[in-house]
Amino acid sequence: MKRQQLAMTDMMLRCICGQVLTPDVMIIKVGSGSAEIRCPNPRCRLGIIGTYTESKIRKKLRLVKMVEEYNMLFMGSEDLQDTLRHWERAITDKISRNNS
């Protein structure tokens, strides 16, 4: 049980508006070859919190600098990078489910 709770918190980020972000609640707007990641809080003034690009050789999630630095304060650099790798996999799964 405790290990499962740790896995859930590993996947969490926070927007600067205070909204807890997980791959399940994020809003993804897919374009050609890339996707915008948006904060689900309708009152968020930032809106776009990151971009996701996928090519044949790699996947890359890039957070807006303000969101990245905000989360780095709470998590540290290594934990943030691990969380971003989890998010890349989760976004890939979510996009592929929506496309099928």
Map out the domains of the chain as residue ranges. Answer: 2-99
Identify residue 56 by its one-letter amino acid code. Answer: K
DSSP tag of 32: S
> What does the pLDDT read at residue 100?
60
What pTM value is reported for the model? Answer: 0.75
| pLDDT digits 0-9 by tens, 42-96 | 999 998 999 988 888 888 889 999 999 999 998 999 999 999 889 888 888 887 7
pLDDT range class, residue 6, cuts 50, 70, 90: very low
Q: How confident is the model at residue 4 (pLDDT cuts 50, 70, 90)?
A: very low
Cite the DSSP H helix spans in the chain. Answer: 2-10, 65-75, 77-99
